Structure 1
Amino acid sequence: MTFEREFFYDEVRDGFYIPGIIKRFWAYELTILSEIDRICKKYNIPYYADGGTLLGAVRDGQFIAWDDDIDIMMLRKDYNRFAQIAQKELPEELSFNSLEVNQDCEELAASVGKQVVGFAAELLRKYHEYPYAGSVDIFIVDELEKDPEVEEHRSLLLRRILFLIEAIEKHGKSKAVLKEINEIEKIMKIQFDQRTALKPQLRRVMDKIFQEFNGREGDQLAIMQFYAFLGNCKYPRSALDKSKWTPFCGMQLPIPEDYDAVLRAEYGDYHKKVKGGGGHGYPCLKKYENKLKTLMKGTWDPDYHFSEEDLVRPKIQNFRDIAISMAEAFKLSHKQLFEDCLKGDISTCISRLSRMQEEAIAFGTAIEQKKGEGTESVRVLEEYCDALYQAYNALSDLTALKEDGIEKQKQTEEICRSTDISSGLQKELEKIANTLLYYPEKLQTALKKDFKRQVVFLPHSMKYFESIRPIVDAVLKAEDMECKIIPIPYFDKYGDGSPKEMHYEGDAFPKEYKITDYRTYDFASELPDCIVINSSYDEFNQVWSVAPSFYSKEMKKYTNKLIYIPWFVTDEINPHAKEDEKAFINMEYYVTVPGLFHSDLTIVQSEEMKKAYLAKIEEFAGKDVAKKMEKKIAGAGSCLLGEKEGEGIQNVVDCFRLFLEK
């Protein structure tokens, strides 16, 4: 099977975040299903989509966002035919697992899947870079007895065996367990082999009981392990008489013609979308991920591990910061000059004026090197230098010595010390100082005009740009800010994490925006006042990555304000609500990643989601880290929500600007 590359990227659908690695698992499962489908067509064996797969096919023509596997079902007679030929027909890497062929099997449902985990290139290419194991489940449909009392008796016996299996798991072969085993042997007229594992033997007994009433042509069917233990998955026989084909993720999938009866038997009101429940064991690929980690012995790990160093913040000083501080330094020098004038310390004043002039010239040269000629601040500095020169000359005239020089200097200094502050000489000194009074303020104003705060936006795709577009527009309109939009390259990954093909979407951005080529922008030289990212994964997304030079841990080296704005919004998540269990689990794919911890501010969609983020961080890194992160996360809203639910884009823009001005 083939898929568009966009199929594999993380997305939010129905308010639920779907990680890219689960998309790969979906493609892997669809490839296995295509093999099952090939065999069934070859031997004319009917099968039907079941469970979440059937529901997704009927409702959306694709996987349910919070489903992570494929389920199909077969009538017992059709399943028996499939079981006889499955293993010889399947590709070498796939295996058929069932009670019939595997003595150690403990599952009541059969399955087809790949059991090997690892980075064998041929298998990765065939199974869409999915490196783990996993299977398509095949549920078997049996007949029910017409007499409800008989059926209830069967269900009681099945539940008794299930309780025995649970007791073995908890207590092993205790006296009570052995006594119960003996009772089951009498009822079933069988003998267990206690030298081998009991659970697989008990599962086969259950499967035998499932088939007890087959062939009696009853009008009710059921998947017995669900019907006996949960009371659902009971269907009218007519519901599975015929099938029809429906689109599902690029293939045609057989579903019961009366799918309504099947779905009502399984879900009740199946039109209502329910995300709750089923969190235990979700996503199922996690157990295989842990197996692969063990196999690789520490040489491969797809998960980010928090370090306190990630919260360490280097202090960055860019040219604008230096320029503004220079203006402040000129203010301080002027203040000291004025104090020296008040003291009548002419020689110190002359020395200070000389230094101030040298500093102003050097500063002007640096500005021209950075910004070129013709800036307002250089013009002010030229005027300032001229005024400093005039002041220097004026003070020099005041201290002109007579022919003997030294004697006259002593007399002049004596006059300055002894004369009242309102004397002519003192007034002249104050006049000289006052002529320079307004230049430092004027310079500071000019510097802020010439050196606006530079905000750099680093979207990697046009699709993700929408989450920051209103902020970009606000910065473009601001007179005190300079906006740089720098689309950055990204690449897909192979299953082992190595880079695949590179993509660049800079040419796809709207023409009304001026785009800066990432190859021409020097972060080390520019040191922007703020960098905005909307990808937080760094290397810890198994499907794709921005180029490593744009990872958050790198970007924070070049700015004092690194801001992360998620490219998506989800439904609100309550960490303590069962219905949000899967959604909270999946937060690890976008919360426990480097960008959040390296950033100085993360703007999330609401205050409630901020609480969910902090709950996930506490689960991941501990309460102390969550407390530190509380100040770095703002629940201001999302640009993607617009005015929805009262928050609005303006809140996000205001939050962004307020942080920028701190």
Structure 2
Amino acid sequence: MGGEDHMQFPDSFFEDEVRDGFYVPAIIKRGWAAQMELLEDIAAICKKHHIRWFAMWGTLLGAVRHGGFIPWDDDIDIAMLRDDYNRFMSVARQELPEGYYLPLRGNIDTSNMVSAVWNGTEFPLKGALLEKFHGYFFPQGIDIFPFDYAAPNPEDEQLQRELLSITFEIKASVGRNEDTDKLNAVITSLEEMLRITFDKNKPLEEQLDVLIEQLSSLYTARDATEVMYTPDWYSGKPFKWPASYFQNLRMLPFEGFELPVPSGYEDILKVRYGNYMELCYSGGCHNYPIYRNLEKQVDNAAVDRLLYTYHISAGDIKRPDSQTAAAPEKLVEQFLLLTEKLHTQIAQAIFSENPEQAKTLLELCQQSAIQVGDLLEKKWGARLHTVALLEQYCELIWQIYEPLAQGGGPLLDMSGIQMHLGALRDQISTCAGEELGRKREVVFLPWKASGWSILKPLWEAAQHDPDCTSYVIPIPYCYKNLDGGMKTIQYEGELFPDDTAITDYRSYDLQNRRPDVIIIQNPYDGHNLTTSVPPSFYAANLKQYTDKLVYVPYFTLDEIRPGNKKAFINMEHYVSMPGVVHADIVIVQSEQMRQSYIDFLVKSAGEDTKQIWEEKITCNSRIPFLKTK
């Protein structure tokens, strides 16, 4: 760590990602990068002034177990031995970039037992500062914990504990405004014991904080062989380790970089966490995500704009009837049913000498034939004989219509009209049945090759279904600039297995072909910080071109157990999304995940929407393959 240039991360680093079964949203990834950038500034100061620092607590655990951040954590913790900590506190304010913030004597109410360097105090970050911190709008802080040398023997340790206990109790009593005479007596006793005098002209609490710091750092490397974090030791936790662990450091990988860690990190983690390699989604002493409290400082609309927040609306939840798309093959069926009735009505209108009604009905027949023919030609090309028959049908309609338009009688009598129209209609029906068949068309629109393994069983089922024709059409996506603009197009079609037939997304016209089923894997539409597919592939648009829009997540998660609040919170980044809301069917990984989706969506959209989600969301155990019949 350390250097003058901004840290470089690949665009892919900022994508939403599943790590160890936990969904990490893009905003957290930006926060990670911002934390690393802030740590870079701290490390540069330490390098300049020969100050030793090392990763601790969750950051140390993340480096060892994950090679980076714990997926469900969003801050960095570092520590320094007390001498290094004091030197850092003495030089940091002069060395830190303009606008940074460092408390004078540690964080509030910590008695200088922990401090934090912040990259600013105002939200949102803007301009060069926003760019430096990789688009993370919220101020970031890194906690720095001072570690002290432990008392060299039990007698000194007991005395140190008693003195700290008295001092902490006095500080607590001052805060509670307790009996003044009794408090003054305790203060006097402490002054006599330590041969000190508190300045009555200065705030007592500040002087007590200084005393707590002095009592915590009574011993030095010459006196002691162990190191401790005083608040943990004072509260009775057995967290003391050999001083050599912190005097000799090692480097471990962390998010593509390296961090210094105590040489005895395995022992530290074992004492602190027990079986530290076992995943545990709880832990951490702050609210998650850490930026949530900062959101409350500005209006909701501003936060929504910054985070591209999507809000579920009643109009999105249910498909309007007007948006139900019809495939050209279905339009043929509708045309045949419609004209069967119209032919009889045309003959009756002519027989009743009602030419205006007859002309209106003939115009309707011709318009229907032209519409169906155009759609079939766009989807299948002019090679279809069905299209040629529809053209003949239009010519016959014109032959009947023209004499009526000229004010004369029809060339054919009523029975002749019905016979000729009916015969040609029957030819269209037979030819369409042979050429178009009854196969349903299913289109798969993956965007990440890594997610294809989840769709592949559905595709294989469609491949083996004799009544189904399927297409795999990987769609492109772009990474976003910080201003929301699009970078270079990304396309992963070449990364799919060789046994998967790929159709180029530019060669398949969804609007005109109108497949029976479209299956998508991107839920975000325009509501993701890092990536976007083209708007033509947004779920809100795709549902106009099919009778059934199906969403299948491109990732698999660990099940969200009761009490896993962090995982539940992050569902807003992939469940409350357009792909889920606009889809007619959502297929998730398990019954338990299905219930998690339903619970979250009901909480987000209201109890009155529960039945909608229960009908829409299914799982692999309920639908082993996509039924296309």
Q: Give the letter for the 1:327 counterpart.
A: L
Q: Which residue number in structure 1 is paired with residue 312 of structure 2? A: 306
Task: Identify which of 590, 596, 602 aligns with 1:606.
Answer: 590
Matches for 1:372-383 after TM superposition, within 5 Å:
372-375=381-384, 377-378=386-387
Q: Does 1:445 align with 2:433?
A: yes
Matched residue SS, 2:529: coil
Paired position in structure 1 for 2:489: 503
Cα distance in 2 for residues equivalent to 1:290 and 1:493 = 26
SS at match of 1:567: coil
Q: Partners of 1:432 and 1:6 in 2: how far apart?
A: 64
The TM-score with structure 1 as length reference comes to: 0.75
1:318 aligns with 2:354: no
Helix, strand or coil at the partner of 2:271: helix
Alignment of 1:171-190 (within 5 A): 176=178, 185-186=187-188, 188-189=190-191
Please give the residue correspondences for 1:25-424 in structure 2 after superposition, counting only pairs within 5 Å: 25-97=31-103, 99=105, 108-116=113-121, 117-148=123-154, 151=157, 176=178, 185-186=187-188, 188-189=190-191, 204-214=210-220, 217-229=223-235, 231-278=237-284, 281-291=287-297, 293=299, 300=306, 302-314=308-320, 315-316=322-323, 317-320=325-328, 321-330=330-339, 347=351, 364-370=369-375, 371=377, 372-375=381-384, 377-378=386-387
Amino acid at match of 1:610: R
Aligned counterpart, 1:461: 448
Q: CA deviation at 1:140?
A: 1.1
Amino acid corresponding to residue 41 of structure 1 in structure 2: K
Q: Say whether 1:584 aligns with 2:568.
A: yes
Asked whether the 8 Å contact 1:360–1:381 carries over to 2, the reply is no
TM norm structure 2: 0.79
Give the CA deviation at 1:523.
4.8
Q: Name the SS for the 2:283 alignment partner.
A: coil
2:528 corresponds to which of 535, 541, 558? 541
Contact 1:48 1:254 survives alignment (8 Å): yes
Task: Pick closer, same or farther for the CA change 1:301–1:252 going to 2, 3 Å.
Answer: closer
Helix, strand or coil at the partner of 1:563: strand
Provide closer, same or farther for how the CA distance between residues 587 and 274 of structure 1 changes in structure 2, counting only shifts above 3 A: same
Give the distance between the partners of 1:448 and 1:188, measured in 2 at CA: 96
Alpha-carbon shift at residue 129 of structure 1 (Å)? 2.0
Residue aligning to 2:537: 550
Corresponding residue SS for 1:490? strand
Is residue 614–residue 626 contact of structure 1 (8 Å, CA) maintained in 2? yes
Q: Answer with 20-29 or 470-479: which moved more.
A: 470-479
**Maintained 8 Å contact 1:94/1:115:** yes
Q: Equivalent residue of 2:556, what SS?
A: coil
Opposite residue 138 of structure 2, the aligned amino acid is Y
What is the match of residue 480 of structure 2? 492
Aligned position for 2:608:
624
Query: 2:625 corresponds to which residue?
Result: 653
Give the stretch that moved more between structures: 137-146 or 147-156: 147-156
- Note the alpha carbon deviations across 1:472-527, whole angstroms, 9 max, x for none: 45445554335361513323231xx5224132315535475333344x66555444
Indicate conservation of the 8 Å contact 1:113/1:133, yes or no: yes
From 23, 28, 34, the counterpart of 2:29: 23
Q: Give the letter for the 1:308 counterpart.
A: A
SS at match of 2:93: helix
CA offset at residue 604 of structure 1? 0.9
Contact 2:474 2:493 in 1 (8 A): no
1:346/1:31 CA distance change after superposition, 3 Å: closer
- Cα distance in 1 between the residues matched to 2:480 and 2:553: 20
- What's the offset of the Cα at 1:556? 3.1
Instruction: Indicate conservation of the 8 Å contact 1:185/1:192, yes or no.
Output: no
**CA distance in 1: counterparts of 2:282 and 2:54, whole angstroms:** 25
C-alpha displacement of 1:50: 0.9
Instruction: Give 1:309 shift.
Output: 2.5
Counterpart Cα distance in 1 of 2:29 and 2:480: 13
Match of 2:553 among 558, 566, 574: 566
Counterpart AA for 1:34:
E
| Cα RMSD, aligned residues only | 4.6
The CA distance in 1 between the partners of 2:553 and 2:97, in whole Å, is 42
Distance 1:165 1:613 in 2: 48
- 2:142 alignment partner, SS class: strand
Q: 8 Å contact 1:493–1:545 — kept in the other structure?
A: no
State the aligned residue count: 596
Asked if the contact 1:48/1:73 (under 8 Å) is kept, the reply is yes
Larger Rg: 1
Taking the aligned partners of 1:328 and 1:484, their CA distance within structure 2 comes to 33
**How many angstroms apart in 1 are the aligned matches of 2:353 and 2:425?**
15
**CA separation in 2, counterparts of 1:161 and 1:547?**
63
Q: 2:477, 2:185 → 1: CA distance?
A: 68
The structure 2 residue matched to 1:12, chosen from 13, 18, 28, is 18
Amino acid at match of 2:625: V
- CA distance 1:490–1:533, change in 2 (3 Å): farther
Tell me how far 1:330 sits from its aligned partner. 4.4
Distance 2:464 2:180 in 1: 79
Letter of the 2:22 partner, please give it: F
Residue 529 to residue 552, structure 1, CA distance change in 2 (3 Å): same
1:514 corresponds in structure 2 to 502
Give the superposition deviation at 1:355: 9.8
Q: How far has the Cα of 1:567 moved from its partner?
A: 1.0
Match of 2:577 among 593, 597, 605: 593
CA contact (8 A) 1:455 1:530 kept: yes
- The amino acid that maps onto 1:508 is E
Deviation at residue 612 of structure 1 after TM alignment: 1.1
- Decide whether the 8 Å contact of 1:489 with 1:546 is kept in 2: yes
Quick one: distance in 1 between partners of 2:230 and 2:510? 64
CA spacing shift, 1:289–1:67, aligned 2, 3 Å: same
Distance 1:602 1:297, change over 3 A: closer
The aligned amino acid for 2:504 is: T
Structure 1: runs of 5+ lacking an equivalent = 390-408, 414-424, 638-646
Which residue does the alignment assign to 2:471? 483
Between the aligned partners of 1:159 and 1:625, the Cα distance in structure 2 is 55
Deviations 1:8-49 (A, max 9, x none): 111111111111221121111112222222222333222221
Aligned position for 2:409 = none
Counterpart CA distance in 1 for 2:27 and 2:127 is: 17
Structure 1 residue 550: Cα displacement: 3.3
Q: Which residue of 2 aligns with 1:395?
A: none
SS of the residue corresponding to residue 568 of structure 1 reads coil
Deviation for aligned residue 1:258: 1.7
Which whole-Å deviations, capped at 9, do the CAs of 1:617-639 have from their partners, x for residues lacking one? 233333223443221111x23xx
